[in-house]
Amino acid sequence: MYRVSEEPLSLDELLRDVSHQGAGAVVLFLGVVRDNNEGRDVNYLEYEAHEAAAEASMRRIGEEAESRWPGARIAASHRTGRLEIGEPSVIVAASAPHRAEAFEAARYVIDTLKAETPIWKKEVFEGGEVWIGEGA
């Protein structure tokens, strides 16, 4: 399951999606809105996505992970819109026969997703705002 949506993320749904009888390990990664960045006090974040392309990108990355770590199963979900401090913006679930592959696959998926998937993040802080990735 790969989803980009304004709705709050569901851990249960992702967990269910990757669980199966051959999975001895499940890793859940949550990216959470932090209250500070580069010395600034963050008020909130706004995420914006090209939904069709973002879901396709997440699916491609997940399928890549599944072929690289045999037995792995991946699901990922990303939220858009305004997110407050402490709210999860992204969840990656990775199951695998053993924990080493589950950790590695989850890490691969979140790192690649953050570098490639067309989702943009605006940080609104005390005294201004900035699109992350602008090279400010």
Q: Which residues bind another protein (CB under 8 A)?
A: 31-32, 34, 47-50, 52-53, 56, 110, 114-122, 131-135
Full DSSP string of 23-43 = -SEEEEEEEE--SEETTEEEE
Question: What DSSP element (H or E) covers 48?
Answer: strand 40-49
Nearer to another protein, 5 or 23 (CB): 5
State in angstroms the smallest separation of the CB of 70 from another protein.
Answer: 27
d(CA 92, CA 102): 11
State in angstroms the smallest separation of the CB of 79 from another protein.
Answer: 12
Nearer to another protein, 15 or 122 (CB): 122
State in angstroms the smallest separation of the CB of 110 from another protein.
Answer: 8
d(CA 69, CA 130): 37
State in angstroms the smallest separation of the CB of 129 from another protein.
Answer: 10
Nearer to another protein, 126 or 134 (CB): 134
